[in-house]
Structure 1
């Protein structure tokens, strides 16, 4: 998937791409990254290459008509860190209004306590967008989600205008981190391996 410049702008960030995959088990995922030609080609062309392995904790909504993360998994032990994915298909009639509002709604993220990483990503420019954020725990994420006036206004507008044709919200528990990314500290307590 492509990504937006400066986090969530309409302008693409031509240097950053995301690959989101769902695997049946860790060994299959690890085998892909270790030996698949496509994974190797990505790594060879990258200055930074970061893999974050996560268990789905909770997911509601749909992505392409399905929920790839299988709903709630309350038995998974949380690591303390929290990954959050939001994904939506925006109704065409609301595109201009939606994208005009994005900078205002996302500005408080730059000051959010406990935010370790965030990036806007997407499949189809303008229409199908997603955000991924990594938090230093659920409390930090909730403080932003429910304590930011701009974010609360965005939630209210979403309900009022119904500007999503489809939406999905998912929470994840990261359990392994490989590689590195600028500005993201090593995740204490996770299996972390720096690239040479």
Structure 2
């Protein structure tokens, strides 16, 4: 399939630019809905480092699902919206992704289509996990998050991770990049804390909706501390 996904991070530094970015969470919808070749998109804020649920007002994310790479390239090279955003940002980084596996739902659907052009010579893996947390379980969920994520600290297989989401506390997602599949498996299946979180998710029924998706990152635009070592 020719479908690709892009995720773009924007970093703002001044108070007025951060305020402008917050306002654009509403006003960017209109131009994005008119973009040719754009199948789906999500405008998202981010949480503070360490999977803190409180907002990081300096970083925003734009997830986009495209009919093909040509449509994405045209948007990033000609879009007036992107041009306006870049003028106000300190850093901007766009990562191009091909889906390798996806299960679950996001806003009632699974928008990702598995790619048939995956390179066997590219070991890197990007992961998006997304969930809508049931209101009654918010306290228990966020109380356990620091424990479940503690194995990430100093993890040599993890290149980058950031908490993102549409609605603070309620609709959360994580984006992460790993050196290879073995590094990801070490965290997901061999970390006692994360394994316990999986069990708790089933036992306590925390989510009303959840999605887990893997990608192969293969191209990038811009700069972002922590991801720049990717050889694209």
Same fold (TM over 0.5): yes
> 1:117 and 1:48 mapped to 2: Cα distance?
16
Pair 1:76 & 2:99 matched: no
SS in structure 2 at match of 1:80: coil
- Of residues 166, 171, 183, the one that matches 2:214 is 171
> 1:172 and 1:22 mapped to 2: Cα distance?
12
- Of residues 142, 156, 159, the one that matches 2:185 is 142
Q: How does 1:122-137 map to 2 (within 5 A)?
A: 122-137=165-180
SS in structure 1 at match of 2:63: coil
Report deviation, 1:75: 5.2
Pair 1:87 & 2:130 matched: yes
> 1:112 and 1:100 mapped to 2: Cα distance?
22
SS in structure 2 at match of 1:57: strand
1:15-74 deviations in whole A, cap 9, x for unaligned?
A: 01110000011111011111111111221111110000000111000000010102x446
Pair 1:160 & 2:203 matched: yes
Which runs of 5 or more residues in structure 2 are unaligned? 1-43
- Of residues 13, 29, 45, the one that matches 1:2 is 45
> 2:78 and 2:229 mapped to 1: Cα distance?
24
Which runs of 5 or more residues in structure 1 are unaligned? 191-196
Q: Which runs of 4+ in 1 moved over 6 A?
A: none
TM-score, structure 1 as length reference: 0.92
> 2:220 and 2:117 mapped to 1: Cα distance?
21
- Of residues 16, 37, 40, the one that matches 2:83 is 40
CA contact (8 A) 2:133 2:206 kept: yes
Please state which structure has a larger fraction of its residues in strand: 2
- Of residues 112, 129, 136, the one that matches 2:155 is 112
Pair 1:186 & 2:229 matched: yes
CA contact (8 A) 1:7 1:118 kept: no
TM-score, structure 2 as length reference: 0.78
SS in structure 1 at match of 2:103: strand
Give RMSD over aligned pairs: 1.3
Residue number in structure 2 paired with 1:15 = 58
Pair 1:30 & 2:77 matched: no
Report deviation, 1:108: 1.4
CA contact (8 A) 1:116 1:185 kept: no
CA contact (8 A) 1:88 1:130 kept: yes
CA contact (8 A) 1:115 1:135 kept: yes
